A and B are shown apart, each in its own frame.
Chain A
């Protein structure tokens, strides 16, 4: 196995061969390359095995799901269905009581109704300098917000004035359910004239403050003229008394 990096073009060529996605001519050409290149042959075998390992993981998950769908209820006694009926009634009563106790507040409801997470930036293969940022963006897109925050925070120490880093750290905090940490970070971008993220930062900072139940602070946010989120924010404030 080669210890060096495998470039994406070669990786994808091997992948297409292993997954049988080459036409006859391409396949023949690839097999000729393999015949002349022992390193390529090793890489093909390695990738084939890695793909098989992933398929095995998927198959074992599928088998578990099939198994769960056929649980061994028939081994249980005759009182099972009666017990289930009582349990269902108790569960309904309990969930009704729980809903009444834990029903969302106005701020929670408004936040949930209007919040759609920032989708993030496209992650393309780029320079080494962008690698660390993109690595965090990958984590962000996959919902691993703490990992993204931790990686971006390292970069923010090197570039403390970066509006991009502040904006995405704020978004990640908001997505992770920490509006109290998201708001101050987003507000620094919201006030930054000329930032490409200013308008969206105003909106997400507003939502973070709404989620915190801080109507006055939310009302104090100045939306830029032409910010499409301004009208939505006014409508939310009118409901948020």
Chain B
């Protein structure tokens, strides 16, 4: 999972995240979650808080890979730890948790060093787009775009014809395209 000696090829974990590979996600979890868990538990958090922070950090890492925003030779463990830690510090500093004791508060400085704020804003915006999809569209689109299954495989799994899946996919994507007109700021780009 570490960086390859071959300069042209991305590290295996980057290639894995790029193709939404479940084994890569599990490996990153097993390898890097314990450090984040330890940090959150040391700083008044629970195991569930640690899971939340890790999940958020993994989403930021995945999006950074998808957007080609990672600095070469990025260490995934360091990246995940910094993002999760900064997110936890944000939680701890929030009004509801003012009473908590925070260890290593000087590391707040890391918050700016990662510069993932715009990625995080983008994640929030894209979640809003995904939320517009109904369950039946998600069933088909997830399999095609996320799991990268071909139309014939999806059709066989759902017991329908390939042409039907192709039509459903087109219609669902057109629904999404229409929804996008309502998202703020998008209307200004109308041609």
Please give the residue numbers on chain A whose beta carbons come within 8 Å of chain B beta carbons, in ascending order: 1-3, 5-6, 8, 11-12, 19, 38-39, 42, 46-47, 49-64, 66-67, 69-70, 72, 75, 119-120, 122-125, 134-135, 137-139, 141-144
Complex contact B167–A139 (CB within 8 A): no
Tell whether, in the assembled complex, residue B130 and residue A46 are in contact, meaning their CB atoms are under 8 Å apart: no
Chain A CB count within 10 A is highest, among B48, B138, B161, for B161
**Shortest distance between the CB of A207 and any CB in chain B (Å):** 18
What count of chain B residues pass the 8 Å CB interface test?
A: 52
Q: How far is the CB of A12 from the nearest CB of chain B, in Å?
A: 8
Interfacial residues of chain B within 75-103, with CB under 8 A of chain A in the complex: none
Choose one: B30, B123, B129, B140; the contact of A49 (CB below 8 Å): B129
Stretch at the interface among B2-10, B106-114, B141-149: B141-149
* List of B residues within 8 angstroms of A52 by Cβ: 66, 126
A63 lies within 8 A of B55 (CB): yes
> Given B147, B168, B191, which contacts A138 in the complex, CB threshold below 8 Å?
B168
CA distance A164 to B55 in the complex (A): 49
Minimum Cβ distance to chain B for residue A63 (Å)? 5
Q: Choose one: A12, A55, A70; the contact of B33 (CB below 8 Å).
A: A70
Which one of B126, B164, B173, B181 lies within 8 Å of A47 (CB-CB)?
A: B173
Given contacts A3-B181, A38-B191, contact A66 B25 (CB under 8 A): yes
Given contacts A57-B133, A144-B136, 18 further A-B contacts (CB under 8 A): A11-B174, A49-B129, A53-B129, A54-B145, A55-B146, A57-B127, A58-B147, A59-B20, A59-B146, A60-B55, A67-B29, A67-B54, A70-B30, A119-B159, A123-B163, A123-B167, A134-B167, A138-B136
Least Cβ–Cβ distance between A113 and chain B, in angstroms: 18
The 10 closest A-B pairs by CB, nearest first: A58-B146, A142-B136, A53-B129, A72-B47, A57-B130, A53-B126, A123-B164, A122-B161, A54-B145, A53-B130
Which residues of B line the A interface, CB within 8 A? 20, 22, 25-26, 29-30, 33, 47-48, 51, 54-55, 58-59, 62-63, 66, 123, 126-127, 129-130, 133, 136, 138-142, 145-147, 158-161, 163-164, 167-168, 170-171, 173-174, 176-177, 180-181, 186, 189-191
Which of A1, A53, A141 lies at the interface centre, i.e. has the most chain B CB atoms within 10 A of its CB?
A: A53
B58 touches A123 (CB 8 A): no
Question: Judging by beta carbons under 8 Å apart, are B146 and A54 in contact?
Answer: yes
A47 and B170 CA atoms in complex are apart in Å by 11
11 A-B pairs with C-beta separation under 8 A: A2-B191, A54-B138, A54-B145, A55-B146, A57-B127, A59-B25, A60-B127, A122-B164, A137-B164, A139-B136, A144-B136
A134: B residues at CB distance < 8 A: 167
Option from B26, B142, B164 in Cβ contact (under 8 Å) with A54: B142
How far, in whole Å, are A228 and B159 apart by their CA atoms in the complex? Answer: 22
